[in-house]
């Protein structure tokens, strides 16, 4: 460990002795300050010090081709002063190294956690992968600010994303930071979503008209992907959720009771989907594929289709229904029932809603049905009144009243 006067000229000219991997040159002016010169030609400034327990430590300041000698000396004095005052110069550096990025938190802690209890964890994974991580994933948690989150949400709104999607992003970020605080993850003190409010959730009620339904069915009937087309037709016929149909197995059908079992529904409980005559006929028309347990398997994988995006896009465009979402088939199924006078209580049971308020979104349709029924009564009464002398009009009464007064 040679001691030298570390000068700018020495730093530039210093070399590693032949046969050695590196040489440490200690400064004779500043205690513990040194220059490491490696056989490769690399040079790095360090400061050695003793911690509170008397153990010798070494702090890496930086490369000599990046830092000037004066800059390195200044940093070295700060490190030595911290050590003398009883502080740990390495503590902040270790703390920063322990702070994970958002992507690391999602991968290592969040997803393993929610997979254990949350049935919709795949939705969370998709939202992170598609919307959040491309923007915030590489940032350490302590660098994710409220402004960064607000900017992400605003950019999504500018791109035309619905409030339901942007709200999901905000709620998911809020949730993962709350968990990070609970788990005492380094770098997380406050939740960056604090003070950010979700947008009013616009409830989109898109119902098929009879004419649109006819066009949709015609498009379904000619689609080349028969498994996907039959899945979509079953969604229209039953009002079920996508996964309830796409993951259906032959063993779930009760042919006698005309029901399709959903072992675990969205609520976490089993439910039975009522099968009408057309749904039963559709199921009977589908040939079983060997020992494949699924009713609507992908023709490529033999497994349930993870998404119906492409066949649905093709089908709805052919039917000139570009604004129709797959989930709107469920809304349309409910509207068909309510418009025919079926009670909201029955509709609630058919859709598998656990809360009546979820079904209340169709209440205005029920009112329309009642209004039409009231008009039927008016028509009947009007027909009965034909030929019956009518009472004098308000104007006649007024004239008569005027004559009496005079």
Is the same domain home to 235 and 290?
Answer: yes
Confidence of residue 404 (pLDDT cuts 50, 70, 90): very low
For the ranges 79-83, 139-143, 274-278, 382-386, the lowest mean pLDDT is seen at 382-386
CATH of the domain at 261: 1.10.443.10
User: Span 80-84, mean pLDDT?
Assistant: 87
Query: Could you report the per-residue pLDDT of 311-322, keeping only the tens digit for each?
Result: 999 999 999 999
C-beta of residue 231 within 8 angstroms of C-beta of residue 315? no
Residue 322: which domain range?
Answer: 210-362
Is the same domain home to 108 and 137?
Answer: yes
Is the same domain home to 214 and 262?
Answer: yes
pLDDT number for residue 118: 85
Decide if pLDDT at 324 tops 70.
Answer: yes
Query: For the chain, how big is the Rg over CA atoms in Å?
Result: 37
Decide if pLDDT at 385 tops 80.
Answer: no
Is the same domain home to 81 and 133?
Answer: no
Is the same domain home to 248 and 356?
Answer: yes
Domain boundary among 65, 98, 131: 98
pLDDT number for residue 405: 43
Is the same domain home to 174 and 113?
Answer: yes
Decide if pLDDT at 401 tops 60.
Answer: no
Q: What percent of the chain has pLDDT over 70?
A: 92
Decide if pLDDT at 372 tops 80.
Answer: no
Query: Could you report the per-residue pLDDT of 154-180, keeping only the tens digit for each?
Result: 999 999 888 888 999 999 999 999 999
Higher-confidence position of 346 and 354: 346
Confidence of residue 388 (pLDDT cuts 50, 70, 90): low
Give the pairing type, strands 22-27 and 259-262.
unpaired
Residues 6+ away with beta carbon under 8 Å from 232? 220, 308, 311, 312, 315, 326, 329
pLDDT number for residue 396: 47
Residue 405 lies in a domain: no
**pTM, 2 dp:** 0.56
C-beta of residue 177 within 8 angstroms of C-beta of residue 196? no
Is the same domain home to 58 and 127?
Answer: no
pLDDT number for residue 76: 93
Residue 202 lies in a domain: no
Residue 203 lies in a domain: no
Decide if pLDDT at 209 tops 50.
Answer: yes
Is the same domain home to 123 and 82?
Answer: no
CA distance 378 to 286: 48
CATH of the domain at 85: 3.30.160.390
Is the same domain home to 351 and 247?
Answer: yes
Total domains, the chain: 3
For the ranges 72-81, 263-272, 278-287, the lowest mean pLDDT is seen at 263-272
Is the same domain home to 38 and 164?
Answer: no
C-beta of residue 255 within 8 angstroms of C-beta of residue 222? no
């Amino acid at each position: 460990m040679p001691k030298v006067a570390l000068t700018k000229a020495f730093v530039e000219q210093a070399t590693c002795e032949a046969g050695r991997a590196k040489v440490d040159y200690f400064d004779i002016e500043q205690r513990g300050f040194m220059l490491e010169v490696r056989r490769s030609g690399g040079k790095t400034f360090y400061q050695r010090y003793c911690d509170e327990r008397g153990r010798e430590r070494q702090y890496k300041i930086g490369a000599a081709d990046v830092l000037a000698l004066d800059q390195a000396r200044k940093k070295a004095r700060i490190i030595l002063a911290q050590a003398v005052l009883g502080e740990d110069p390495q503590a902040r550096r270790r703390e920063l190294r322990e702070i994970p990025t958002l992507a690391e938190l999602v991968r290592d802690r969040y997803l393993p956690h929610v997979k254990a209890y949350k049935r919709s964890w795949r939705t969370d994974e998709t939202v992170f992968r598609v919307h959040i991580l491309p923007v915030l994933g590489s940032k350490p948690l302590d660098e994710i600010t409220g402004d960064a989150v607000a900017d992400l949400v605003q950019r999504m709104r500018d791109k035309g994303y619905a409030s339901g999607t942007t709200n999901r992003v905000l709620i998911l970020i809020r949730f993962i930071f709350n968990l990070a605080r609970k788990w005492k993850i380094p770098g997380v003190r406050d939740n960056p979503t604090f003070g950010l409010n979700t947008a009013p959730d616009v409830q989109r009620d898109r119902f098929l008209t009879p004419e649109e339904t006819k066009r949709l069915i015609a498009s379904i009937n000619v689609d080349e992907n028969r498994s996907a087309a039959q899945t979509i037709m079953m969604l229209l016929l039953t009002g079920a959720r996508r996964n309830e149909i796409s993951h259906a197995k032959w063993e779930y059908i009760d042919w006698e009771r005309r029901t399709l079992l959903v072992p675990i529904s969205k609520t976490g409980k089993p439910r039975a989907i009522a099968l009408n005559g057309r749904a039963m006929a559709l199921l009977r028309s589908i040939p079983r594929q060997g020992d494949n347990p699924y009713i609507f398997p992908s023709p490529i994988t033999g497994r349930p289709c993870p998404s119906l995006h492409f066949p649905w896009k093709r089908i709805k465009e052919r039917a000139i229904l570009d604004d129709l979402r797959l989930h709107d088939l469920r809304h349309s199924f409910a509207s068909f029932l309510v418009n025919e006078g079926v009670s909201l209580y029955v509709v609630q049971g058919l859709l598998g809603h656990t809360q009546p308020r979820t079904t209340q979104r169709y209440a205005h349709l029920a009112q329309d049905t009642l209004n039409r029924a009231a008009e039927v009564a008016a028509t009947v009464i009007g027909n009965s009144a034909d030929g019956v002398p009518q009472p004098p009009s308000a104007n006649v009464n007024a004239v008569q009243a005027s004559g009496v007064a005079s």
